[in-house]
Amino acid sequence: MPDAYAEFKEQPGDDPDDVLFNTLYGVRTIQLNRPKKYNALNGSMIRKIIPRLKEYEKSALASIIIIGGAGPKAFCAGGDVSQLAKDIAEKGDAGQASSKSYFGLEYRLDHLIATYPKPYIAYLDGITMGGGVGLSVHAPIRIATENTNFAMPECGIGFFPDVGGSFFLPRLEGSLGTYLALTSESLKGVQALYAGVATHYIDSSVLPNLTARLAELVFKDYDNLETRLRNIDRTIEEFNTGLPPDEFPLLSGNLRLAIDYCFRHSTVEQIISALKKERDARDTPAQIKNWAKQTLDKLAEKSPTSLKVTLRQMRLGLRWNTAETFNREYHIAAKFMQHPDFVNGVSARLIHKPATKAQWDPPTLEGVSNDDVESFFRVAEGEDSLNLLTQGLDYDRNPYEKILGLPREEQIEQVVKEKARGKEDLIDVLVEAKEGKIGVREKVEEVLGRRSEVKEGVVVWKG
């Protein structure tokens, strides 16, 4: 009988210890083990993780899977794109083909995680960027710590926010996803929870104890995935160490209104125009003026092609389910492997020491036509697609997001409109609905301050 996972077998040059697997009762831990490289993901690691996940899926003894990173600095700082760029520069078409193969392998792993039928938990303890985002954001439970540093920096290296960014980012509230995708802005610590990137926040010092406690959980055979996840959710709250003192949502108030206003537009040129208006208007608060100027400076550093392709990706991604997301991104990634900005961007920003300014081609937004952008989304007849590892479990929205994360704005709006309530009563209702979950009060207060007003003691939703 042929080996179903023969394509994932160890290859010459693979490091035998770049991923460590351990068992603790019903918990199976996956530890990325390249701390000197900030646990950057490569093919060797992927070839180890996929067969283990499929093994755990079939095992009645494996109840919960937890993924984390070795060392104090990173969960996973991204894919090893430096090697991909070197291969393309040195080997031409053969390098492009091997890079495309790598992304196909990576996206199949990400899709497997997104559709995994058992509880999968990601510890975002440290730098979480690029490939590390793919290993974590599709997990139903994503735990941020004080060390979390989340970002999607791809536009700065002549690429696009892949690893399922087409699915995850556009579904963040308002225009947050588009803002994070185009600017590479980072979310640190508890800010990842407030933004919806993480579903939980705890102090990193208690992660080992949490793992041990989760290993004690015993599920009934007939418990479905939602029941198991709810049980895990309550268990995580046992380790609630409180929020960092005086650290409130940063992307809030007038700043969040400005983000939603500026990044709602359908072209990069319109976004830039909106930012310039915020920067130059006399009545704009100083904080927003400074933010608009800094954001314009950030966008000016990015690849014009990446910016335009990424904005189109954010708009189209709302229509894609998980399977279409990774198939589409597979083709987009292949197009970027043929584009000079990828090698130029990675070489300038990641390979050269010290980093240099990338020379983009074309160098301006005006030089990137609509047809240039659309060419990244065209799939030629007969072009290969991903051989995804799970079938029939795809979805248009994460089915557990509203259960496990902080309440979303539409949920808060619904509670505001269903019955006349004062502000404190309203907050109490939402906190109770989430069983006192950490961060709920702060999130609700921020949303109400931005999206509602109080009339005669009753909270009224704006617009």
> Which residue in the list 18, 162, 278, 341 is annotated as catalytic?
162
Residue 96: count other Cβ atoms within 10 Å of its Cβ: 19
Say if residues 124 and 148 touch (Cβ distance below 8 Å).
Answer: yes
The residues, any chain, with a CB within 8 Å of residue 58's CB and separated by 6 or more, are none
State how far the Cα of 142 lies from the Cα of 121, in Å rounded to an integer.
6
The residues, any chain, with a CB within 8 Å of residue 384's CB and separated by 6 or more, are none
Q: Which residue has the tokens 């279409």?
A: 324
**Among this protein's residues, is 131 annotated catalytic?**
yes
> Which residue in the list 131, 158, 165, 177 is annotated as catalytic?
131
**Among this protein's residues, is 79 annotated catalytic?**
yes
| DSSP class of 59 | -
State how far the Cα of 48 lies from the Cα of 61, in Å rounded to an integer.
20
DSSP for 94-128, written as a single string: HHHHHHHHHHHHHHHHHHHHHT-SS-EEEEE-SEE
Residue 312: count other Cβ atoms within 10 Å of its Cβ: 20
DSSP 3-state assignment of 278? helix
Say if residues 43 and 102 touch (Cβ distance below 8 Å).
Answer: yes
Half-sphere exposure of 209 (CA within 13 A, CB side): 12
Strands 64-69 and 27-32: parallel
Residue 457: count other Cβ atoms within 10 Å of its Cβ: 10
Say if residues 184 and 151 touch (Cβ distance below 8 Å).
Answer: yes
**Among this protein's residues, is 68 annotated catalytic?**
no
Catalytic residue IDs: 79, 131, 154, 162
